[in-house]
């Protein structure tokens, strides 16, 4: 996500983030501090239909860089069309290139989302955390 796409991200993410001030602050950090992480957006034509955000950290158990995925979301009309799968597949390519050792996702207790994550190779690591790799 670059500066001009920040409005699209904000418009989409405010559907599930109630604190608009915090969301705006976080998106500003993503634009200004690419070393902290990034937001990817999925478009159908000129309409933003999906997103995922990634924050970086260092995991002592993993022995290196870890990524935490938040905000994996696709508009209801765009679901079951491969958008989230494409976001995750492309994300894995980028994170592999950065030698990310583990990917964590904090997922709500949504059976459909949890089944999707399991189908993509993520394993449960507690009630709402999923891990891929290390």
Beta strands in 1-134 (DSSP E): 37-44, 47-59, 64-74, 102-106, 123-124, 129-133
Residue 32 is encoded by which pair of tokens?
């200004």
Of the chain, the end-to-end C-alpha distance in Å amounts to: 27
- Enter the tokens of residue 115: 């089944």
Provide the CATH number for the domain around residue 126.
3.40.630.30
Q: How far apart are CA 119 and CA 79, in angstroms?
A: 15
How many domains does the chain fold into? 1
Stretch among 5-19, 83-97, 113-127 having the lowest mean pLDDT:
113-127
Domain residues for 98? 3-133
Which pLDDT tens digit goes with each residue over 74-113? 999 988 899 999 999 999 999 999 999 998 887 777 788 8
Residues in the chain: 134
pTM: 0.82
Asked whether residue 131 carries a pLDDT value surpassing 80, the answer given is: no
């Amino acid at each position: 996500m670059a500066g001009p796409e920040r409005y699209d991200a904000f418009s989409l993410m405010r559907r599930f983030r109630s604190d608009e001030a915090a969301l705006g602050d976080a998106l500003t950090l993503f634009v200004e501090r690419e070393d902290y992480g990034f937001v990817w957006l999925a478009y159908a034509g000129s309409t933003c239909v999906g997103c995922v955000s990634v924050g970086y950290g260092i995991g002592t158990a993993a022995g290196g860089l870890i990524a935490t995925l938040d905000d994996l979301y696709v508009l209801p009309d765009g679901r079951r069309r491969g958008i989230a799968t494409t976001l995750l597949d492309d994300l894995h390519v980028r994170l592999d290139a950065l030698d990310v050792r583990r990917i964590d996702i904090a997922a709500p207790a949504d059976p459909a989302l949890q089944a999707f994550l399991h189908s993509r190779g993520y394993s449960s690591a507690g009630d709402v955390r999923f891990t891929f790799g290390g």
